A and B are shown apart, each in its own frame.
Chain A
Amino acid sequence: MFDYLTLKLIWWLLVGVLLIGFAIMDGHDMGVGALLPVIGKDDTDRRVMINSVAPHWDGNQVWFITAGGAIFAAWPFVYATAFSGMYWALLLVLFALFFRPVGFEYRSKLTNPAWRTAWDWGLFAGSAVPALVFGVAFGNLFQGVPFHLDDTMRSFYSGSFWALLNPFALLTGVVSLSLLALQGATFLAHRSEGALQARARTAGNVLVIVLLAAFSGAGVWVSQIDGYVIASIPDIGSALNPLMKTVTRQPGAWFANYQKLPILWLVPALAYLGGLLVLAGLRGGKTLLAFVGSSLACLSVILTAGIALFPFILPSSEHPVSSLTAWDATSSYVTLNVMFWVALIFTPIVLAYTSWAYHVMRGKITREFITANDKALY
């Protein structure tokens, strides 16, 4: 039904959708986890926070798993190169994520305070570390990653883990951490009450400012970084491998797509609109509006970065020709086509039962509810 080129574009969008879905859905429970030691003042507070996401964190985490699976299926070059190259960054995320399922499930199964405190810190690490590392990874994409492909398409990475933690990448790490923490703060403001809700609102107000400042700062900084440009490439509607193109580096090239199509500036603008909605919602007690605003910011930040990089996915600083793009790092026509139909059928089904699950579990979590259901809850 679609030609190969259209499918390549669709899959760029679909991976974007999955990442945005991850930021909005898993983002809010990671945000709650990251705020756990900050605004959870006592055990009951922290249980309110944990139980606000208890029925949903597991389903939400599947956005992350599915995004990983989709990258494997649609962009196997990217999956192979990025995951093996940034080995320790990936393992850091993985080890941090280990704390989440067990943290949620085991924390309140014993009453020993040391046990609970240990898992609280585990949940904090399991939420904050991945949130930070995702931004750091995106920051490194803008600067190029040191790898090359040999002529059998085997990838070799020549950088170190520590080189990933450069100033620009740490700034983009602040963007992603504040973004997901904001998701958590607005969600919590919506689902809690009293003193805890007040602290969640304060955190939300602070995080909006941090997010927009870091996002703006990163935007200005990107203009000083050399972007990547495809100088020549065979027919992008055909089967390609990454070594068939030529690539150059140019100052300001990461803004090229916005200059070509100025309407795209609306995408980064949405982050500021989202920020305003958060502030207005938190001030006026319209907590759902604040959550929507924060989700809008998630969408905007991820799309803004994606559009700037497009069609690059993983630029190579060591050997620019090896850079992976949406044209030459994809799966075959057959796979992209089959997977498109699978996604088209199952994504609405997933959204439907997820919404139903939130509907079933709607309403505020109170301290009284925790005490009354001590044994049944996390």
Chain B
Amino acid sequence: MIDSTVVDLSRLQFAATALYHFIFVPLTLGLSWLLVVMEAAYVMSGKEIYRDMTKFWGKLYGINFALGVTTGITMEFQFGTNWAYYSHYVGDIFGAPLAIEGLMAFFLESTMVGLFFFGWNRLSKAGHLAVTALMALGTNLSAVLILIANGWMQDPVGSAFNPVTMRMELTDFAALVFNPVAQSKFVHTVAAGYVTGSLFVLGISSWYLLKGKHVEFAKRSFRIAAAFGLAGTLSVIVLGDESGYAVSESQKSKLAAIEAMWETEPAPAGFNLIASINEETQSNNWAIKIPYVLGLIATRSTSETLPGIREIRAENKERVKQGIEAVIALEALRKNPQDAELLASFNKVEKHLGYGLLVKKYSEDVRLATPEIIERAAHDSVPKVAPLFWTFRLMVVLGFALFALFALAFWASIKNTFQQKPWLLRWALYFIPAPWVAIHSGWIVAEYGRQPWTVFGVLPTHLSASSLSAASLYGSIAGFVGFYTLLLIAEMYLMFKYARLGPTALQSNNA
């Protein structure tokens, strides 16, 4: 049996390192385009203040970028070190976008970032601007490929199980790349990065304005960030809605859990604004409900019904039973791979194989699965409701608050009144952490919401981990926590120091 402690610790380590990595990535995504806009303004207007803006925000970009790179290496190797069976089982598909990411995107970004910092005196104005743009392009291409990989985990298209190699294999590359789940996730995610970068610039510029420092510099930065941030928040919200639609197609369990929708409701379903969730009785003690809204968001129709959690669990119970047959048929087939009859009987139940594997959490030999174990496996097929319900709502509330902030900031920058609105400047300054909170909530909704699977409907998380000892996991988690804490302290120290210095950091001797 696989040690549950090892699985839990592996999940903890993955979540911690992924969320930590995702402190730096969104800022890189957003700042890179802001640098392009600022430098384009420099090239077009010839005003040196725009070059200084590019260089100064570029310095902060660099401080952040270094940790993004550092923690990104962890992500690539962790699939192999800690999720070895996952890597074996789906590497044929999942590995491809990761390798393409290196070759197509990360090389571009990393080569150009060197020229961005050190090529100012060696390239023409337009040449340097092209380098900055290619750097931003590389960063965003990276995100496309990572989200193609993640999109496949959410909705495993274009692939089939091969009993000879005991794994999933790629059958349709185009389906993998153009997976609609990946497309909407990509825009939603990068746009969230644009919001993060914009608020970073907006908030720090507001601080300069509140202090009356670097005013010309701050005003220009504020305007650019306000416009870009408004576009970003709009995209996040529209594509967040699109993601919701995609989820309703591919992961009804996630949607039902996010909405704490225990019973199947007549279409169009209502949206629970807030609710008191009771996991034991599989119901809500009370809820404040807006009629029709969920059905409209999730199905784009007034007639399609959405299944509730109880119904999903009941359906999945049948799939678990069929899945047990699939596991047994596969074992027989592996003993006699040439037997056409065994192959035929496996093929009949193959699509339920993943649900049969859910049983392995409780019984290594699926033949020994009691009705109680089957019940538990089916129960597992929908994640815990409360964490999803609340992180989703936190994300959405912050999303709309950010939209309000950027709409007001944009309006004030058109009217040129933001310097007279200290409350707006303070809001921007103190709200700098908000995008990160929203983004991390979003990650939890997407990844925790996919449980109990690493690959939805195909491979349970429980089977995906490496055969390591708990001691190794405790050791590596301690190592990551120690290293990452020290690195974060160094990063924050430099970030605050250089943000305080402002554009004088470009010349000042104590820089």
Contact = CB atoms under 8 A, between A and B. Distances in A.
A339 interface: yes
Interface string B35-60: 00000000000000000000000000
A69 B506 CA distance: 38
Nearest to B59: A109
A101 B67 contact: yes
B88 A77 contact: yes
A88 B490 contact: no
Contact of B106 (A66, A73, A80, A109): A66
Contacts of A338: 96, 170, 173
A59 B108 CA distance: 8
> Which secondary structure dominates chain B's binding surface?
helix
Q: What's the interface size class on B, roughly? A: 35 or more
Given A91-B479, A109-B511, A335-B170, A62 B106 contact: yes
A3 interface: no
Interface string B225-265: 00000000000000000000000000000000000000000
Nearest to A155: B84
Interface string B443-478: 000000000000000000000001110001001100
B103 A54 contact: no
B110 A58 contact: yes
Given A73-B91, A332-B162, A347-B103, A58 B73 contact: no
Contact of B101 (A69, A87, A98, A101): A69
Interface stretch (A33-41, A216-224, A248-256, A352-360): A352-360
Given A80-B88, A155-B84, A68 B77 contact: yes
A32 B487 CA distance: 23
A280 interface: no
A9 B18 CA distance: 35
B88 A154 contact: yes
B88 to A, nearest CB: 4
A68 B95 CA distance: 10
Contacts of A285: none
A354 B173 CA distance: 28
Nearest to B91: A76
A95 interface: yes
Given A339-B96, A350-B107, A55 B118 contact: yes
Interface in A316-339: 331-332, 334-335, 338-339
Contacts of A360: 115, 119, 122-123
A258 interface: no
Interface in A1-42: none
B385 to A, nearest CB: 32
Contacts of B85: 80, 154
A83 B106 contact: no
B91 A72 contact: yes
B211 to A, nearest CB: 23
Interface in B103-147: 103-104, 106-108, 110-115, 117-120, 122-123
Interface in B62-107: 62-63, 65-67, 69-70, 72-74, 76-77, 79-82, 84-85, 87-88, 91-96, 98-104, 106-107
Contacts of A354: 107, 111
B78 to A, nearest CB: 9
A375 interface: yes
B494 interface: yes
Contact of A72 (B82, B99, B468, B475): B99
B4 interface: no
A199 B82 CA distance: 43
B507 interface: yes
A282 B115 CA distance: 29
A151 interface: yes
A69 B74 CA distance: 12
A81 interface: yes
Contacts of A152: 166
Interface residue tally on A, bucketed by range:
35 or more
A84 B91 contact: no
B84 A81 contact: yes
A241 interface: yes
Contacts of A104: 66
Contact of B80 (A83, A95, A106): A83
A331 B117 CA distance: 39
A368 to B, nearest CB: 15
A355 B487 CA distance: 32
Contacts of B93: 335
A232 interface: no
Contact of B87 (A76, A109, A334, A347): A76
B88 A332 contact: no
Nearest to A156: B467
B103, B113, B479 — which one has the most chain A CB atoms within 10 A of its CB? B103
A153 B167 contact: yes
Given A55-B114, A375-B507, A342 B104 contact: yes
B468 A84 contact: yes
A233 interface: no
B285 interface: no
Nearest to B120: A376
A79 to B, nearest CB: 5
Contacts of A335: 92-93, 95-96, 169-170
Interface in A284-338: 331-332, 334-335, 338
Nearest to A108: B511
A154 B479 contact: no
Nearest to A86: B81
Closest 10 CB pairs of A and B: A76-B91, A83-B80, A66-B102, A73-B95, A55-B114, A72-B95, A84-B84, A59-B111, A69-B99, A105-B66
Given A91-B81, A102-B70, A334-B171, 12 more contacts: A54-B114, A73-B91, A73-B96, A73-B98, A76-B95, A84-B82, A87-B472, A91-B479, A105-B63, A332-B92, A342-B100, A353-B112
